[in-house]
Amino acid sequence: MSGINRATIMGNVGQQPKIKKGDGYTIANFSIATSKKWKNKSGDKTEHTEWHKIVIYNKLAEVVEKYVNKGDKIYVEGEIKTSKYEDKNGVERSKTEIVGNFMQMLGSKNKPEQEENPYKQAENQYQQYEQEAQYEDNIPF
């Protein structure tokens, strides 16, 4: 039986995505902050923020390049990947990142709600149409 390696993250983009392009590939690197809030034993509000490194490849990375900005709320699914490397001093280090294969943009701090959610905009337009529509009392049947 094989294992499951799946990560699901929803939070805010920490910095503007860094895009790297090569011959036939695109890579997007950025971080997502997830926060947890609670009251501690003494009743004080406490918050902890965890930072997650995200890497996305090719077509999805091109979407990130066009539409994802610092502060945006985003949902990412992918797998956890840990790799080892040597730093400039020759010390062996490791890094853990989420290799995203699915992404959903949830909103932006920089845009009004109506602009960021086309479904909400359509719903508002329909409600406005309903209010302006004049219904006749003479029904032809």
Query: Structure pTM?
Result: 0.70
pLDDT tens digits in sequence order for the chain, 141 residues long: 889 999 999 999 999 999 999 888 999 999 999 999 998 889 899 999 999 999 999 999 999 999 999 999 999 999 999 999 999 999 999 999 999 999 998 877 655 444 445 545 555 554 554 444 444 445 554
Query: Containing H/E element for 23?
Result: none
| Domains, the chain, ordered by start | 7-106 (2.40.50.140)
Residue 96's CB is within 10 A of a number of other CB atoms, namely 11
91 within 8 A of 53, measured Cβ to Cβ: no
